[in-house]
Structure 1
C-alpha cells in the first residue's frame, strides 16, 4: 500500500481533516518517531520506496533522498523555508515542492518580540536569581529607546518592524531585494545597520550567500553592547564567534531560537547573556494548527494534480 510520510517532529494527525481525507483514499500514514529533526539516513529509511507524498520538517531533503524515494511525487513543507530542500534535485526527479509561507509568520514575529524584550530587560537572569533566593534590582533597557535593525524584510521581518514601531522604536532595515521600505523604516546598507543598530534581528533566508552572515568580522563591526536576535535560520550566525563576542562584552546579549545543529550543544550554553529556545518559533497553537492544515491541504491537492497528470 502506498503511504504518506509526516517527517516533521510534531504534527497533530488526529485532528487534521486533510490527513483524514488521505487515509480515506487508502493511503497509509508514517510518522517521525524520534521527536527531533531526522538525519538524511533516517529520512531515506522512513520514506522507503512506497511513499507518494511527504509533509516535511527541516530535515535534509537531498539528491540522495530523492533518488532513493522512487515513488515520491509531492513534498509539502510544514513551514516557509526551503533551504533544507535540494530544489534542483526535486525538479530532476519530478517531485513537486510546496510550502506554507504565511501560516508561521505571526508566531515567529511574536517570539522575536518576546526574545527581544526578554534580552533587553534581562528577564531570564532575573528569574534565575529570584529562584536562588536573591532579590536583584535589575536595570534593563527600553525597547522604545533602541534603534532596531531588521535584516530581511519578508513576511516575518515586516511584521517585526511594525511591532517595534508600535513600541516606539526607531527601525532601520537591510534587504538586498527590497527597493521600497515600509512606512517609517529606513533602508540602509548592511555596514550601516551593523554599526548603528542597538538591536539586530535576523529574518532572511539561509543559503551559500548568507552562511555565517554574522561571522567574527561582522560581529566586530556591530555597535558595542548591541543585542542579536535570530529566529530565522541557525547557519546565519557563526555560533562560536557569537559566544566569543558575548563573553568579551562586545555584545550585550543574544537570543536564538535556531541553530546550525539541533538539538544545540555548543558554547552558547555557557554564556549567561545568551537566551536559547528550542526552535519554537512556529509553535503557537493557532499558528501551528493553520500551518499543519495548510501543509496537509497542499499535499492532498498536489497528489490529486500528480495523479491527473499521470492519467493524461
Structure 2
C-alpha cells in the first residue's frame, strides 16, 4: 500500500470521504503538520509517494527528504511556497486546484461588501453594548464596483453583482477587453478604476502594492475597499491614514500582513473598529470548497501514482 502524505488541515474534512477513496485505490493517507517543519515532517516524507501539501513551504530540502515522492499536489491555488525549480530538477510534477474555492471566495467578497456598506459588524457590536442608534448605509445595487483582477474569483463576483444591479468595472492585464465585456464588466485601466468606483474589490495576485498613499489620493471620498486576495496588495499604514481622514469609508479584508501575528497592524487600532472588518482567512472555508480542493488534489495524486497525467499540472509532467 502506497503512502500519501496530507499536510492540509482540512483535507477530507468536508462531506466526502477522501481518505476512504484513497484507501479504495490502494493507498494509505498519513497526516502531517500544516506548518511543514522539516524536523517533524522528514520521517513522513521518507515513505511518501504522493504529497497533498497545505500552505507551508515545500523546499528542495523537503523534496530531498522524500526519495520515493512522485507528485506534489498543492491543496489550493497558490504555489508561491513551492520550489517549482527544485521539483522540476527532481522530476516531480506539481499540481494545484484552480477554481476549487472560487465560488466560496466570491461569496465572501460580496458578504464583506454588504457588511461594510450596511455597517453590519459595527451594528452588532453597538447593540451588544446597548446602543440601538442607526447608521445609514448604502445599497450595493446603487454602487459602481471596481474589480481588480478578473480571473475565476473576479468573474464570480461580477456574476453575483449582476443580481444586485451594480455597475461593474474591471481591470486585468492578462485579459482582452472583449472578454471582460462578455463576462459582465466594463473594461477600464487601473488608475481610472480607482477614480471612478464607489467600492473596489481586489482579486489580483500578490507580490505588488496596488493601493498606496498616492493611489488613495485619487479615490472618490468614502470609497469602500475589499481585499480577499493578498495582504501585500495594500499599504496598511496608508489605508489607516485614509480611513482617519475620511478619504476611505471602510476597509474589509480576509487577510492582514503577518496574519496570525498581525496584532500590530495599524488597521486593528481601536479607533478604526467601526470602519474596519477583518476575517481570519475564512473566504475559502466552505464545505463545498474543501471537498473541491480535496477531490482535485487527491485525483491528481492518484493519477500520477497510476502512471497517468494529472489534470491540473503547474510544472510540466515529466
Q: Does TM, scored on the shorter chain, surpass 0.5?
A: yes
TM-superposition CA deviations, 1:51-99 (whole Å, max 9, x none): 2212122222234433443332211122222233232232122221112
Change (3 A) 1:215 1:46: farther
Matched, 1:60 2:57: yes
Change (3 A) 1:45 1:267: farther
The DSSP-based 3-state class of the residue aligned with 2:306 is helix
* Equivalent runs, 1:84-99 vs 2, <5 Å: 84-99=81-96
Alignment partners' CA distance in 1, 2:190 and 2:77: 24
Q: Which runs of 5+ in 1 are unaligned?
A: 308-312
Alignment partners' CA distance in 1, 2:130 and 2:48: 55
8 Å CA contact 1:3–1:27 kept in 2: the answer is yes
Deviation at 1:189, TM superposition (A): 0.8
Matched residue, 2:194 = 194
| Residue in structure 2 matching 1:139, options 121, 125, 136 | 136
Matched residue, 1:269 = 268
Change (3 A) 1:222 1:7: farther
* Equivalent runs, 1:179-190 vs 2, <5 Å: 179=176, 180=178, 181-183=180-182, 184-190=184-190
Deviation at 1:160, TM superposition (A): 0.5
Deviation at 1:101, TM superposition (A): 1.3
* Equivalent runs, 1:197-236 vs 2, <5 Å: 197-206=197-206, 208=207, 211-236=208-233
Matched residue, 1:295 = 297
Deviation at 1:39, TM superposition (A): 5.6
* Equivalent runs, 1:138-157 vs 2, <5 Å: 138-157=135-154
Q: Which runs of 5+ in 2 are unaligned?
A: 310-318
Q: Give the TM-score taking structure 2 as reference length.
A: 0.85
- Please provide the CA RMSD for this pair: 2.6
The answer to which structure, 1 or 2, has the higher relative contact order (CA under 8 A, 6+ apart) is 2
Q: Give the TM-score taking structure 1 as reference length.
A: 0.86
The DSSP-based 3-state class of the residue aligned with 1:51 is coil
| Bigger shift: residues 61-70 or 263-272 | 61-70
Alignment partners' CA distance in 2, 1:43 and 1:113: 39
Deviation at 1:40, TM superposition (A): 5.5
Alignment partners' CA distance in 2, 1:116 and 1:223: 16
Deviation at 1:188, TM superposition (A): 0.9
